[in-house]
């Protein structure tokens, strides 16, 4: 029976022993997930409802919030169930699907941040051409590519991995990420090289593009009046903050996958949880507070809710 079970299911061994605090961890994770849903959902709804926010910059912010919702939904429901379970298991096919969703949405974040940096570059450096360049069709094409390209890239290692034979059925992660590849009987050279290719195209190239556009923006605004520099800083600073946070979390993912055996179970758990907590939770907070147009609508919404209760 155990052999048959192991052929179908994989054990997620990344959670520490939490018998005494099982329900506390469940409440914390569920609260985080609800906060992520509420904060990102609020940003999306405000941008959809208010016409003055129907601009490319805010549409891209809404897309980033939607991506955070999808990313979190691929992780948190299963994680909440696992915390309450005595044995954390997942089927082979479900593990592959979670892997696909996790890296597809993570890569989409980098591309969406690249699109947002390009939007700011055109708006600040080429203001007269902005309406022509960033039309509705361009926005739709950029959003489609930001979600479609990562999915096409990640589906390749997912399919290759599905054909690999497993010699181990216990992963040290709390969900299915790159640590899943260590369960294969034979290390695939193709997967290793393709992983480097995906990292270059999905992370390094977008980050280099973002840095290039912001350098151009800072050079352009340096020669303009203080008002222009202030406006550029207000719109660009949140993007840079989000990029910095996400880069750190992406680095955590690489460290956990590469140095898994050299890290204690608690350290691996803490680093992995940071990957799925900070970005989805802090993105809407950063944009909600730092973007004046969004913050104005949030304050109005809050005041209405308070007045209704009174």
Strand order in the sheet with 170-171: 89-91, 9-12, 170-171
Instruction: Give the pLDDT confidence score for residue 262 in this predicted structure.
Output: 61
Q: What is the DSSP string of 139-187?
A: HHHHHHHHHHHHHHHHHHHHHHHHTSPBS--EESSSS-SGGGGGGBSS-
> What pLDDT is attached to residue 261?
57
pLDDT, position 287: 76
Residues in the chain: 310
| C-alpha distances in Å from residue 230, one per residue of 124, 224, 236, 243 | 12, 10, 10, 20
| Cα–Cα distance, 180 to 164 (Å, whole number) | 11
Q: How far, in Å, CA of 217 to CA of 229, rounded?
A: 9
Number of domains in the chain: 1
Bridge partners of 182?
Answer: none
* Distance, CA of 74 to CA of 94 (rounded, Å): 11
pLDDT of 163 reads 85
Other CB atoms within a 10 A radius of the CB of residue 178 amount to 19
Q: pLDDT (tens digit, 0 to 9) for every residue of the chain, 310 residues total?
A: 344 444 578 888 777 766 777 888 899 999 999 999 998 998 999 899 888 888 898 899 999 999 999 999 999 999 998 888 888 888 888 889 999 999 999 899 989 999 988 998 898 888 888 888 998 899 999 999 999 999 999 999 899 888 888 887 888 888 888 877 888 887 778 888 888 888 888 888 998 999 899 888 888 887 777 776 777 777 777 778 788 887 877 777 777 666 655 666 777 777 778 878 888 888 877 776 667 777 777 777 777 766 666 5
Range of the domain at 84: 2-309
| pLDDT given for residue 3 in this prediction | 42
Between CA 53 and CA 46 the distance in angstroms is 8
CATH number at residue 63: 1.20.1070.10
Q: For residue 89, give Cα distances in angstroms to 5, 72, 162.
A: 10, 19, 17
Q: Using the 8-state DSSP alphabet, how is residue 127 labeled?
A: G
pLDDT of res. 149? 93
Retrieve residue 44's tokens. 């999306």
pLDDT at site 54: 86
Alpha helices by DSSP H, listed for the chain, are 2-8, 22-49, 56-73, 76-84, 92-125, 130-133, 136-162, 189-199, 205-222, 226-258, 265-290, 292-309
**CA-to-CA separations, 195 to 151, 184, 250, 253, 279, in angstroms, rounded:** 14, 15, 14, 13, 22
> What does the pLDDT read at residue 34?
94
**What's the pLDDT score for residue 177?**
83
Angle, CA 69 vertex, CA 64 and CA 70 arms, to 5°: 95
Sign of CA dihedral 90, 93, 94, 96: positive
Q: DSSP string covering 27-62, please?
A: HHHHHHHHHHHHHHHHHHHHHHH-GGG-SHHHHHHH
The per-residue pLDDT for 2 is 43
Q: How far is Cα 192 from Cα 181, in angstroms, rounded to an integer?
A: 10
Quick one: pLDDT at residue 1? 38
Indicate the pTM of the whole model.
0.86
Partnered with residue 299 across adjacent β-strands are none
Residue 267: closest CA among 280, 252, 278, 246: 252
């Amino acid at each position: 029976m155990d052999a048959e079970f192991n052929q179908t299911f994989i054990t997620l061994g990344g959670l520490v022993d939490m018998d005494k605090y099982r329900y506390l961890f469940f409440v914390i994770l569920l609260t985080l997930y609800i906060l992520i849903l509420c904060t990102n959902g609020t940003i999306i709804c405000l941008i959809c409802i208010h016409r003055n926010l129907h601009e490319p910059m805010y549409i891209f912010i809404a897309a980033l919030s939607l991506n955070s919702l999808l990313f979190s939904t691929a992780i948190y429901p299963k994680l909440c169930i696992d915390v309450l379970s005595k044995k954390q298991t997942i089927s082979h096919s479900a593990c592959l699907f979670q892997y696909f969703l996790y890296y597809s949405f993570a890569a989409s974040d980098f591309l969406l941040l690249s699109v947002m940096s390009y939007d700011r570059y055109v708006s600040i450096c080429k203001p007269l051409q902005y309406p022509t360049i960033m039309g509705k069709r361009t926005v739709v094409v950029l959003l489609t590519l930001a979600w479609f390209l990562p999915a096409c890239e990640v589906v390749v290692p997912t399919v290759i991995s599905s054909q690999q034979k497993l010699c181990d059925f216990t992963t040290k992660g709390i969900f299915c990420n790159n640590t899943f590849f260590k369960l294969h009987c034979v290390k695939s050279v193709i997967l290793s090289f393709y992983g480097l290719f995906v990292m270059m195209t999905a992370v390094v190239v977008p980050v280099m593009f973002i840095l290039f556009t912001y350098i151009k923006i800072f050079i352009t605004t340096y020669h303009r009046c203080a008002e222009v520099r202030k406006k550029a800083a207000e719109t660009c600073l949140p993007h840079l903050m989000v990029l910095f946070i996400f880069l750190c979390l992406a680095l955590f993912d690489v460290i956990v996958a590469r140095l898994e055996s050299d890290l204690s179970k608690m350290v691996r758990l803490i680093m992995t949880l940071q990957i799925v907590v900070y970005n989805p939770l802090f993105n809407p907070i950063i944009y909600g507070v730092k973007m004046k147009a969004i913050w104005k609508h949030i304050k109005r919404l809050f005041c209405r809710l308070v007045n209704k209760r009174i």
